[in-house]
Amino acid sequence: MAKSETVANAERLVEVMMKGNDASHDPAHAFRVRDLALSLAHEEVLSSSPISLEIVELAALLHDIGDYKYLRNPSEEKIVEEFLAKEGMDMDKSSKILDIIKGLGFKEELKGVLNGSYTPEFGVVQDADRLDAIGAIGIARCFTFGGSRNRVLHDPNIQPRLDLSKAQYMKKDDQTTVNHFHEKLLKLKDLMKTKAGKRRAEKRHKFMEEFLHEFYEEWTGKLNVGVKGE
């Protein structure tokens, strides 16, 4: 299927607006989430609706433009809304795209924004974003982001905050990169909205658990080595 002009323009906007971000939230992240979301949409039988697919693709592409973690200017919060208006997007589709983006984040779920109510399009976009936050890619992104903020890798004396409010989650002071796995990433598997997302999350979740097991063993120096003196 030929790419629409609006999608092509959205891709260019992503390249411009996210090119200065660290690699945890760069254009490649947005493009991976778009590809995952469209794949999930097909598994969830949304492919029969071109309108649904357009909403999914644009919401996935644009979801991190105006992210609070990277805001350089408050006006950037309106960039997606202004882009959709400039593209002549009708109000119904525009509202659905903006609603997906607004409710997508983990912090919104902590706040209880969804209350168990969401559209199929929202489900596949959120699941796609969360799949990119776990597994091998998720591990790489987690340490990339932590490094970009000069965050401590791990400190056994700093315990993860397991019962977080939105305000507490957004307050990152004195937290370690490894604690982010316990505060968010290991919780995502059970928060997937779609059957397809749940299936894919299982493998990625297991990989993170195995990684953390290895990490803690190596941190404490208790890892068994094959040959003494090596």
**pLDDT number for residue 230:** 38
pLDDT along the chain (230 residues), means of 10: 87 96 97 98 94 97 93 89 97 97 82 70 97 98 96 94 68 82 96 97 98 96 53
d(CA 206, CA 186): 9
d(CA 201, CA 12): 30
For residue 106, being part of any structural domain is answered with yes
For residue 225, being part of any structural domain is answered with no
How many domains in the chain?
Answer: 1
CATH of the domain at 125: 1.10.3210.50
d(CA 35, CA 33): 5
**pLDDT number for residue 3:** 77
**pLDDT number for residue 76:** 87
For residue 165, being part of any structural domain is answered with yes
Q: What sign for the dihedral angle of Cα 5, 37, 29, 20?
A: positive
Residues in the chain, total: 230
**pLDDT number for residue 127:** 98
For residue 222, being part of any structural domain is answered with no
Domain that holds residue 50: 5-216
For residue 221, being part of any structural domain is answered with no
**pLDDT number for residue 150:** 93
For residue 209, being part of any structural domain is answered with yes
**pLDDT number for residue 68:** 87
**pLDDT number for residue 71:** 85
For residue 223, being part of any structural domain is answered with no
Measured CA to CA in angstroms, residue 191 lies from 10, 131, 206 at distances of 28, 11, 15
Q: What is the DSSP string of the chain?
A: -PPPHHHHHHHHHHHHHHTTS-GGGSHHHHHHHHHHHHHHHHHTT-TT-HHHHHHHHHHHHHTTTT-GGG-SSGGGGGHHHHHHHHTT--HHHHHHHHHHHHH-SHHHHHHT-STT---HHHHHHHHHHHHTTSHHHHHHHHHHHHHHTT--S--TTS----S--HHHHH--TT--HHHHHHHTGGGGGGG--SHHHHHHHHHHHHHHHHHHHHHHHHHHT----SSTT-
Q: Which of 206, 209, 27, 56 is nearest to 123 (CA)?
A: 56
